[in-house]
Structure 1
Amino acid sequence: MKFFITKFVSIAVLSLSILTTSAFAMHHKSANLDIVETAASNPAFSTLVAAVKAAGLVETLQGEGPFTVFAPTNAAFEKLPAGTVEDLLKPENKEKLVAILTYHVVAGNVMAADVVKLTKATTVQGSDIMIDTSDGVKVNNATVTQTDLKTKNGVIHVIDTVIMPKM
Structure 2
Amino acid sequence: MKKSILIVASTLCVGLMVNNTFAQTQDSTKTSAPTTTPGTTTVQATGDVVSTLSSNADYSTAATAAKAANLSAKLPATGTYTIFAPNNAAFSKLPANKLDSLMKDTAKLASVLKEHVVSGKYGKAEIVKALVAGKGKATLNTVDGETLKLAVTPNHTVQLTDETGNSAEVTLYDLQGTNGVVNGINSILMPK
Identity %: 39
Select the structure that is richer in helix: 1
Identify the residue that residue 175 of structure 2 maps to in structure 1: 149
Residue identity matched to 2:67:
K
Q: RMSD of the alignment, in Å?
A: 2.3
Identify the residue that residue 76 of structure 1 maps to in structure 2: 90
Assess, with a 3 A threshold, how the Cα gap between structure 1 residues 97 and 133 changes in structure 2: closer, same or farther: same
Structure 2: state its 5+ residue gaps: 1-36, 132-136, 162-166
Per the alignment, in what secondary structure is the counterpart of residue 109 of structure 1? coil
Query: 1:23-34 to 2 correspondence within 5 Å?
Result: 27-29=42-44, 31-34=45-48
Residue identity matched to 1:86:
D
Identify the residue that residue 109 of structure 1 maps to in structure 2: 121
Correspondent of 1:38 among 44, 49, 52: 52
Paired positions, count = 140
Identify the residue that residue 29 of structure 2 maps to in structure 1: none
Residue identity matched to 1:39:
L
Identify the residue that residue 137 of structure 1 maps to in structure 2: 158
Query: 1:41-56 to 2 correspondence within 5 Å?
Result: 41-56=55-70
Assess, with a 3 A threshold, how the Cα gap between structure 1 residues 56 and 37 changes in structure 2: closer, same or farther: closer
Deviation at 1:144, TM superposition (A): 0.3
CA deviations on 1:61-118 (whole Å, 9 max, x unpaired) are: 594431001011111100111111000011xx22221111001000011222332425
Residue identity matched to 1:153:
N
Deviation at 1:50, TM superposition (A): 1.7
Identify the residue that residue 88 of structure 1 maps to in structure 2: 102
Cα distance between partner residues in 2 of 1:125 and 1:61: 10
Assess, with a 3 A threshold, how the Cα gap between structure 1 residues 28 and 48 changes in structure 2: closer, same or farther: closer
Are 2:112 and 1:100 equivalent residues in the alignment? yes
Give structure 1 regions of 4+ aligned residues with deviation exceeding 6 angstroms: none
TM-score (norm 1): 0.74
Are 2:173 and 1:158 equivalent residues in the alignment? no
Structure 1: state its 5+ residue gaps: 1-21
